[in-house]
Amino acid sequence: MLLHPDSWLSYPPLLLMGVFQLWMLIDAARRKEWMWFVVMLVFPGFGTIWYFFYVFRSSPLTRGFELPGAHDRRRIKELQAQIHHLDKPHHYSQLGDIYFQQGKLEQAEANYRAALERDGEDLDTRAHLGQCLLRQKRPAEARVLLESVVAQNPKHDYGYSQMAFAEALGALGETDAALKVWQQVTENHSYPRAKAQLAEIYLLRQQPELARSELRDVVADDAHAPTFQRKRDRVWVRKARALLRKL
């Protein structure tokens, strides 16, 4: 009944929705967003509104407003176009970073390797590929890349490459080497990620007082940290609290 033309003409809101639906379908076809085109046909109304906010971005109504992932989606398309036309290593590397943040590790790895094929000396790409391999539980491969980065620049990525290197060493069972790297990190930074894992090694070495000192620092610093930092580090703060309860 709602799809009958007479119903649309006699009920203005339905007519407006029909025009809006047609407008979005045409836009999706123009953008070649065929998946969204089908979604809007199968789920008229809800699917159309979803498309409007998630994909359609040229309207003034959506300027300054983006749902999570919208920026990445646009940036991915930009980088893919730049890769197609220019084939520059940094574009591959930047695309790999986006996929890494999205948890799409295989796609991230493929783009990092493509970047290294074009520029094998780029420190950021080597470091980020190492971290990507580490997250894929391939610490031996990660260790080679991260060790070379840290040897060249121990402060690379504000110590994050060094932390990843320590994690790779730990995953390979090289506890003594990992301990030294964690100590180097905590000499320059107060990252909960570093302090919590350093404390774990101290506990393995039967050094509870050293562990307690690191863990208390984590908990104390968290109380005064800004919201974004607390959200980022909460997994390590929870670990620190749990370890403290066991001491």
Give the model confidence (pLDDT) of 182-235 as tens digits. 999 999 999 999 999 999 999 999 999 999 999 999 999 999 988 888 888 999
Which pLDDT band, with edges at 50, 70 and 90, does 6 fall under? low
Which pLDDT band, with edges at 50, 70 and 90, does 142 fall under? very high
Residue 120's Cβ-count burial label (10 Å; 0-12, 13-18, 19+) is exposed
Q: Which of 97-101, 176-180, 231-235 has the highest mean pLDDT?
A: 176-180
Q: CA distances (Å), 51 to each of 93, 118, 205, in order?
A: 29, 37, 56
Closest CA to 147 of 178, 179, 183: 178
Q: CA distances (Å), 212 to each of 152, 160, 171, 197, 199, in order?
A: 33, 23, 23, 12, 7
Per-residue pLDDT, 211: 97
End-to-end alpha-carbon separation of the chain, Å? 70
Per-residue pLDDT, 67: 42
Mean pLDDT of 120-139: 96
pTM: 0.72
Structure letter (DSSP) for residue 190: -
Per-residue pLDDT, 238: 93
Per-residue pLDDT, 88: 96
- Higher-confidence residue: 20 or 126? 126
